[in-house]
Chains A and B, each alone.
Chain A
Amino acid sequence: MNLEKVVFGFVIVLAATLNFGFFVGDIDQTQHHDIYELFAAIVVNLIATVLKFGDRTQIGAIHLSTSLVADLQLIAAACVWAYASHVAGVGMDAGYTAKVVSLSGGALFANVVSVIILIAETIMQRR
């Protein structure tokens, strides 16, 4: 066991769980989706991306690309949120909430792929 692997696994799983936590609930119910959870998901996802930098194996490349997809989706969700509450002037109504949650749903899928790769990688090593 080494600490680097623990941290790596921890961050990736945490990114996925936070993302999931934000995603669950009715898609158009604002009170089911907490902004702090979205913020935490974005930050942890960004850190997960940075941790994946510099790995030149094929699996490392897929890892990095899934993380980049998740980042993109989550940041898009945050942008929609900011637009709805500050620019559009209507606040988080049902339509905007649905948009934000569905974007985070996409990110969740990328995060699930990332976790699956992590598991596959672990199983391949048989140790």
Chain B
Amino acid sequence: MIQSQHRGIIFLVLRRMRAPLAVLISIFAIAVLGLTVIPGIEVDGEARRMSFFHAFYFISYTATTIGFGEVPIEFSEAQRMWVTVCIYLSVVGWAYAIGALFALMQDTAFRDAVRTERFAREVRRLAEPFYLVCGYGETGRLVTRALDHLGIRVVAVEIDPAKAAELDLHSLWADVPSVVGDAAKPQVLRLAGLEKPECRGVMALTNDDQTNLAVAITARLLAPQVPALCRTRNVEIAANMASFGTRHIINPFEKFGEYLALALHSPSAYHLLEWLTGIDGTEVEPHRDPPRGTWVLCGYGNFGRLLANALEHEQMPVVLIDRDPPPDGTPHRWVQGDGTCAPALLEAGIRDACGIVACTGSDVDNLSICVTARELKPDLFVVVRQNHFSNNPLFDAFEADARVVPSRIIAHECLAILTTPLLVPFLDEVKAAREDWSAALLARLTERFGWRVPHVWSVRVNARQAPALFALLMPAGPDVTIDALLRDHARRDCALHCEVLLIRRDDGSNCLLPKGDQAIRVGDELLLVGDRQARSHLSLTVENPNTLDYVLGGRDLPGGWVWQRLSRRHG
């Protein structure tokens, strides 16, 4: 609930306080006036009247219940009567004013205005790069947590107040400014900092495809330089998004279709991809490779259609089971029935099939299908679609061969695209490569780094990201090889625990898996895989000239100017 004019809190307060303040001023005025008019104690036969100054002084401390007594001289009885009236009048005035103020504080519209204002201020003051996450559901939560883990700031927009409130409960490192609002409205995105130069990307991760489309359009028109990542399940909407230049459209089902196809014809490449794009710090369990043969597919929805196409593309026969009659012109065998019961599965030839995909929209149905199918044929390769993250324990207990969790797929994809853009060209190379090449690479990398998802990052040799290396190389400096650079800055005979996967040259050409004696040039962008420590060591090496000098040449340079002069004279 965002008001279009959100900076009006102070005006709202003033407007609401108009009547109470006017009443308070009137009461003060009447009381003061009365005190100056009413005669006081007679001195020398003449009644002493209070001056305005004394009257105002007296009323000020009486009305605020401080009460110093009767000053400057004792009051006459007439004055005391008037003061009694004044005391009650002023209490009524204060009660009215304070009551109005508290009523305003409790007002939902006012509280929304205050919250929105606070959010806008937080975003305005955000001076570091951040990503804008629209939709804090399962996917949004995964992405936010992973980005937070990497030390990247996030701003969240969520339409459901309950979900937005969860943000405060999740223990994140950095504060995530969040607002309750509809991401489809441009002013909400604007408020969330879409147009700020620090905004590095916007992610449309809501459940609603139309909202995601609206976010894509808003980002394209208001902030064309900001890359937008959009989630959609609908092919037409994806086409619509693509038509106005949305760079990254993520359809989780299509993505999984691609993965499954990849897993079918090149299992190692698939594993490599999963290992590299997983969420930092999680363990990847290598599952058995999907067999080639007949596949049974239960549920012909959006996802079913994409998977059927993917399997067909790999020349696998597909048998479909669905409750609805077959649509016209389907090329696949079709069994109309309930996949959760044995008869339909048997009719579809489950005993001769090699794998089953349960991809209906219901988690319970999917599990039921898989359990029944496995009873009929225990060595079946089972792919199951998990719709809701909350059903995790059930799916963990079942141990399917492959599990499709849309939110997780989207999160992985977003993170890979955002944090290491160079990973995409590398993965493209992997997908295109031969199976034995991928197998060898996978074996080598997992032997060195383990099956835990490694740290993947990129470094560009320029003045900002690698100032020391840039300065050394810039005026046609010495050749620096990869092997020479990737060394520990404390003991240079130890290699860093990381490896270069890809070098993108300044001219756009790629150098896949460069050899250790490959020289690094200015403008190169390196894609590295390794652990977190190696990353921090390397960043110190390329940023600090003294460290770089030690790593490359083994010399410990003196740090200060005086010592540098002295050592130059002696050396």
Q: Are B25 and A43 closer than 8 Å at their CB atoms?
A: yes
Q: Are B25 and A47 closer than 8 Å at their CB atoms?
A: yes
Contact residues in B for A43 (Cβ distance below 8 Å):
25-26, 28-29
Contact among B14, B36, B53 with A86 in the assembled complex (CB-CB below 8 Å): B53
CA distance A47 to B29 in the complex (A): 10
CA distance A39 to B5 in the complex (A): 39
Residue B32 at the chain A interface, CB threshold 8 Å: yes
The size class of the interface chain B forms with chain A is 20 to 34
CA distance A47 to B15 in the complex (A): 13
Interface string of B3-24 (1 = CB under 8 A from A): 0010010011011111001100
CB distance from A39 to the nearest CB of B (A): 6
Residue B336 at the chain A interface, CB threshold 8 Å: no
CA distance A51 to B18 in the complex (A): 6
| Residues of chain A from 83 to 101 with CB closer than 8 A to chain B in the complex | 85-86
Residue A82 at the chain B interface, CB threshold 8 Å: yes
Contact residues in A for B14 (Cβ distance below 8 Å):
53-54
A54-B14, A85-B53 as given contacts; A39 in contact with B33, CB under 8 Å: yes
Contact residues in A for B15 (Cβ distance below 8 Å):
53-55
CB distance from B15 to the nearest CB of A (A): 3
Q: Are A50 and B53 closer than 8 Å at their CB atoms?
A: no
Q: Are A53 and B18 closer than 8 Å at their CB atoms?
A: yes
Q: Are B22 and A50 closer than 8 Å at their CB atoms?
A: yes
| Residues of chain A from 24 to 72 with CB closer than 8 A to chain B in the complex | 35-36, 39, 43, 46-47, 50-51, 53-56
CA distance A54 to B15 in the complex (A): 4
Q: Are B18 and A50 closer than 8 Å at their CB atoms?
A: yes
- Which A residue sits closest to B37, measured CB to CB? A36
Contact among A54, A78, A82, A86 with B18 in the assembled complex (CB-CB below 8 Å): A54
Q: Are A53 and B17 closer than 8 Å at their CB atoms?
A: yes
CB distance from A10 to the nearest CB of B (A): 13
CA distance A56 to B5 in the complex (A): 11
- Which B residue sits closest to A87, measured CB to CB? B53
Contact residues in A for B17 (Cβ distance below 8 Å):
50, 53
Contact residues in B for A86 (Cβ distance below 8 Å):
51, 53-54
- Which A residue sits closest to B13, measured CB to CB? A54
- Which B residue sits closest to A45, measured CB to CB? B25
Q: Are B52 and A47 closer than 8 Å at their CB atoms?
A: no
Interface size on A, residues (CB 8 A): 17
Q: Are A56 and B53 closer than 8 Å at their CB atoms?
A: no
Interface centre among A50, A51, A82, A85 (most CB of B within 10 A): A50
A50-B18, A53-B14, A54-B11 as given contacts; A78 in contact with B26, CB under 8 Å: no
CA distance A55 to B15 in the complex (A): 7
CB distance from A99 to the nearest CB of B (A): 16
Contact residues in A for B26 (Cβ distance below 8 Å):
43, 47
Q: Are B52 and A56 closer than 8 Å at their CB atoms?
A: no
CB distance from B45 to the nearest CB of A (A): 21
CA distance A45 to B15 in the complex (A): 17
Q: Are A50 and B25 closer than 8 Å at their CB atoms?
A: yes
Interface centre among A36, A55, A56, A78 (most CB of B within 10 A): A56
CB distance from B379 to the nearest CB of A (A): 73
A54-B12, A56-B8 as given contacts; A82 in contact with B22, CB under 8 Å: no
Q: Are B52 and A78 closer than 8 Å at their CB atoms?
A: yes
Contact among A35, A46, A51, A55 with B52 in the assembled complex (CB-CB below 8 Å): A35
CA distance A28 to B302 in the complex (A): 92
CB distance from B100 to the nearest CB of A (A): 13
Contact residues in A for B29 (Cβ distance below 8 Å):
39, 43
- Which B residue sits closest to A54, measured CB to CB? B15
- Which B residue sits closest to A79, measured CB to CB? B53
CB distance from A100 to the nearest CB of B (A): 12
Q: Are A56 and B18 closer than 8 Å at their CB atoms?
A: no
CA distance A86 to B54 in the complex (A): 9
CA distance A78 to B51 in the complex (A): 12
What are 20 sample pairs from A and B whose C-beta atoms fall under 8 A apart?
Answer: A35-B52, A36-B33, A39-B33, A39-B36, A43-B25, A43-B28, A47-B22, A47-B26, A50-B22, A51-B18, A53-B14, A53-B18, A54-B16, A55-B15, A56-B5, A56-B8, A81-B52, A81-B53, A82-B51, A86-B54
In addition to A39-B36, A50-B17, A50-B21, 17 A-B residue pairs with Cβ atoms within 8 Å of each other are A35-B52, A36-B33, A39-B52, A47-B22, A47-B26, A50-B18, A53-B14, A53-B21, A54-B15, A55-B15, A56-B5, A56-B8, A81-B53, A82-B51, A85-B51, A86-B51, A86-B54
Closest 6 A/B residue pairs (Cβ): A54-B15, A53-B14, A82-B53, A43-B29, A54-B14, A50-B21
